Amino acid sequence: MVRPRSFDTCWRVIDSPLVLSLSKGEKRFPLWFDQLTMSGRIGLGTSGTLYLGPRCRVGAVPKEGSFAMRFQQFGERYIVRLQSGEPVIETLTAFLKEQDIEFATLSAAGAVQWVRLGYWNADTRAYEYREWEEQMEVVSFEGNSALKDGDPFLHLHGVFGRRDFTVIGGHIKEAHVHPTLEVWLRTERIPVRRTPDEASGLDLLDLPDQA
């Protein structure tokens, strides 16, 4: 099959799974790609399933336990390095679960090529989301991971620098790394959980009352 002109294709190997990233250039696509496009997002998970990304980006992510990311542990601290193309929230959540980490604080530096940010509307008590697909520097990246329904739940805020030196920021719903993201993670020995808060409609940290 001859690929259409202006049809940018990027192949990359993460461990054994093969990753294919396609960005739309023209409207002449193979039948299988058109069918995926019509179906919307198929799924983005550590199960290795095929997914349709926000700008007709298609790929297969590594299976659980075969991440491209690397890490080193120093007592209760970790340094984690995510590789190009890895989804930040999904990869870190799987890592926290694999390491049986019940509470941690996180910060990071690096760059991303796509991000979905949220703004919490106090009137509607719901998040409003917007996506950006461009190369950006991670200017600020802070948050924590607690347990929600027994699994790690990340709450991260970030600020991202654009080529024109303007910035965007908000609640990080997901982001795709390029070329790397270096994460500093500090764990605590006690579990901290999130529970629903009726007043805000959010899942807040469940902490003891202080006298």
Q: d(Cα 61, Cα 187) in Å, to the nearest integer? A: 27
Say what the pLDDT of residue 211 is: 52
pLDDT in tens, 106-132: 999 999 999 999 999 999 999 999 999
Determine phi and psi for 34, rounding to 5 degrees.
Answer: -60, -40
Calculate what percentage of the chain has a pLDDT beyond 90.
Answer: 63
pTM for the whole thing? 0.69
Higher pLDDT, 99 or 56: 99
Query: What is the pLDDT averaged over residues 191-208?
Result: 93
User: Domain spans of the chain?
Assistant: 8-60, 70-194
- The pLDDT of residue 12 is 32
CATH of span 70-194? 3.30.1330.80
Q: Is the per-residue pLDDT at 10 higher than 80?
A: no
Question: CB of 161 within 8 A of CB of 132?
Answer: no
Q: How many CB atoms lie within 10 A of CB 104?
A: 22
What mean pLDDT is predicted for residues 41-55? 37
Confidence at residue 15, expressed as pLDDT on a 0 to 100 scale: 32
- Give the span between the Cα atoms of 176 and 44, in whole angstroms: 12
What is the residue-averaged pLDDT of the chain?
76
